[in-house]
Amino acid sequence: MSDVGYQTSKEVSGLRILLVDDVYTTGARSQSAASALQLAGATVVGIVAIGRRINPGYNDFSLRLWKEQRAQSFQFGRIFEAHRDA
């Protein structure tokens, strides 16, 4: 990323792109990257975030969500169970 935001380093015009972001906090970086791709002629079909940062001090809902998640141990298999039930 430069001082003026994201820029494409290759020709992307006409491509359909799925953006993958490692951590979603506010969405600003994903939106900036999507905007740069669209300005360069690509179609952004979606954005997938691998993780999300929760700020427990943001509001009461965030604090409650933070506490609920902290009370559970992480089990990788639960991801597949939730997907299978959906």
pLDDT for 2-31, tens place per residue? 456 788 999 999 999 999 999 888 888 999
- CA dist 49 and 39 (Å) reads 22
Q: Provide the residue range defining the domain that includes 2.
A: 1-53
User: Do residues 84 and 57 make contact, with C-beta atoms less than 8 angstroms apart?
Assistant: no
How many domains does one find in the chain? Answer: 2
This prediction's pTM: 0.63
Residues 64, 82: one domain? Answer: yes
Interval 47-68 mean pLDDT: 89
Residues 45, 62: one domain? Answer: no
Residues 4, 42: one domain? Answer: yes
Interval 57-83 mean pLDDT: 82
Residues 36, 73: one domain? Answer: no
Residues 49, 60: one domain? Answer: no
User: Do residues 19 and 34 make contact, with C-beta atoms less than 8 angstroms apart?
Assistant: yes
